[in-house]
């Protein structure tokens, strides 16, 4: 069970990593763009704040460029997981990078077939997008459950990381489906930690303690 925070916001990363329960930080080009800072500088800083893995996505659209970017990311952070977009060029790059021993993730996976091809190319992780599938009126959980079952049936070592997870209940739904990893925002992890009854209970304990004057 691996947990990641899906952000490039350093304040959120610092706080979330201090919980000691997250394996690292996942990013994508939209998340990085939101920070309005140099890509390299930002990734290096995230790596300093993160004892675990830092996930970094290529921008190139052909396999040669993707492979070059992957090698460059490895210089920025040695614990990098290189995110490649699903498609022929992404598969080509994944096959080459897995032979070099560079850990990769196939992202933007929307079918079991895509996931199987990515696994065959040697990626360490595939990212199906739960919320974005639900957004277009199909079931992200059905897709992800199908990938998990197919990988298990075929004995594939590739891990499934549920992406586009938008609430605490969805995190649990994904874990119950048997995914190996989940990435989601700071606010989802923070919400999962909270319960109003916990707050009410703690308030009562502290009040009783104070009133007793111990
Ligand atoms: O990179 C993958 C993200 O988990 C996508 O999440 P989102 O659909 O909430 O933008």
Checking if the pLDDT of 55 tops 90, the result is: yes
Handedness of CA 154, 159, 164, 167 (dihedral sign): positive
Q: Whose CA is nearest to atom 10 of ligand 1?
A: 164
- What's the ipTM? 0.92
pLDDT digits over 69-91, tens only?
Answer: 999 999 999 999 999 999 999 99
The total number of structural domains in the chain stands at 1
Per-residue pLDDT tens for 98-116?
999 999 999 999 999 999 9
Of 123, 25, 40, the closest CA to residue 76 belongs to 40
Residue 137's pLDDT is 84
**Domain of 36: which CATH number?**
3.20.20.70
**Which protein residues are within 6 Å of ligand 1, measured from CB?**
6, 28, 129, 131-132, 163-164, 166, 183
Predicted structure pTM score: 0.95
Domain that holds residue 158: 2-212
List of residues 6+ apart from 102 with CB closer than 8 A: 70, 71, 74, 82
By alpha-carbon position, which residue is closest to atom 9 of ligand 1? 164
Enumerate the active-site residues.
Answer: 83
């Amino acid at each position: 069970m691996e947990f990641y925070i899906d952000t490039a916001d350093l304040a959120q990363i610092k706080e979330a990593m201090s919980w000691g329960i997250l394996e690292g930080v996942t990013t994508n080009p939209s998340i990085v763009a939101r920070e309005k800072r140099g890509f390299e500088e930002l990734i290096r800083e995230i790596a300093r704040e993160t004892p675990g893995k830092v996930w970094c996505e290529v921008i190139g659209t052909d396999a040669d460029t993707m492979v070059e970017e992957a090698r460059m990311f490895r210089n920025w952070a040695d614990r990098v997981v290189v995110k490649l977009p699903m498609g022929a060029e992404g598969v080509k790059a994944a096959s080459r990078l897995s032979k070099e021993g560079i850990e990769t993730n196939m992202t933007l996976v929307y079918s079991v077939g895509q996931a199987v091809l990515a696994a065959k190319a040697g990626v360490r992780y595939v990212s199906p997008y739960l919320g974005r599938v639900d957004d277009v009126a199909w079931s992200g959980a059905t897709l992800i459950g199908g990938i998990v079952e197919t990988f298990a049936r075929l004995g594939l070592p590739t891990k499934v990381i549920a992406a586009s997870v938008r609430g605490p209940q969805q995190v649990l739904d994904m874990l119950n489906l048997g995914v190996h990893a989940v990435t989601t925002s700071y606010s989802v992890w923070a919400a999962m930690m909270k319960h109003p009854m916990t707050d009410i209970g703690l308030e009562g304990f502290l009040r009783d303690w104070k009133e007793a004057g111990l």
